[in-house]
Amino acid sequence: MDATTGSAVRVAGLVRQFRSGAERLTAVDDVSLEIAPGSVVALTGPSGSGKSTLLHLIGAIEQADRGTVTVDDVAVTALRRAALARYRQGIGFVFQRYHLLPALTVLDNVIAPVLPRRGRADHATRARELLAAVGLADRERALPAQLSGGQQQRVAIARALMGEPRLLLADEPTGNLDSTTGAQILDLLLDLRDRHGMTILLATHERAIAARCDRLIRLADGQVVEDVDLTGGEDPADTYDRVARLRL
């Protein structure tokens, strides 16, 4: 995959509400922000703060009630049906629970998102390249149950890259992993960003993960309450100390 500059993301006045019985709950409440191409941004905040919903709105998994999402020159919130499907195919999604298909081999799990498209031989070649990139070249015939949690997450990352995305959305990708394996997964994501130029939005509860991102955006009750630039060139330990003082 050739290096790109990553996608620019702009969110303006975004609102997403859900109905719970007679009550209407606001998950994302008038959020506006801009994400620079090629940056790695940590979305933090307590459970229910709106992190996952915001990622789903940017990825067009859910539709906004009000406001706009623009990715590069695409007005995502104005897209309909076929155009929405094409947009989603160009986004990489990585989830906490992996969502691998248990009956498929590692190789076929990576290929699965692009199976409706032609050229399976080309897909297999690319999938093998991606598995090599995430350190699993020797496990392509294994089933998910034969892999560790960290290995399964690596497969999920390879799968997310099949569409050559300029934007990767990762929802708690290290949440089910121990701290050492979680750090390795972040190493992998940062290396992939450096080599392929992706923009990465990463929802996380973990300070050690957030401290290694370029920017930290904290949400509370669906609103942005803190927006911190972490690219000051300071020692990584100082960055961690700075993040440790923040409420995540």
Q: Is residue 81 located within the same domain as residue 179? A: yes
89's CB contacts (< 8 A; 6+ apart) are 113, 163
- What confidence tens digit (pLDDT) does each residue in 58-70 have? 999 999 999 999 9
Show which of 125, 148, 163 is a domain's final residue. 163
Name the more confident of 20 and 222. 222
Number of domains in the chain: 2
- What confidence tens digit (pLDDT) does each residue in 133-164 have? 899 999 999 999 999 999 998 999 999 988 88
- Structural domain harbouring 119: 102-163
Q: Is residue 84 located within the same domain as residue 176? A: yes
Show which of 112, 135, 163 is a domain's final residue. 163
Residues 16 and 222: their CA atoms lie apart, in Å, by: 9
CATH number at 37 reads 3.40.50.300
Show which of 121, 145, 163 is a domain's final residue. 163
Residues 14 and 12: their CA atoms lie apart, in Å, by: 5
**DSSP 8-state assignment for residue 8:** -
Specify if 97 maps to a domain.
Answer: no
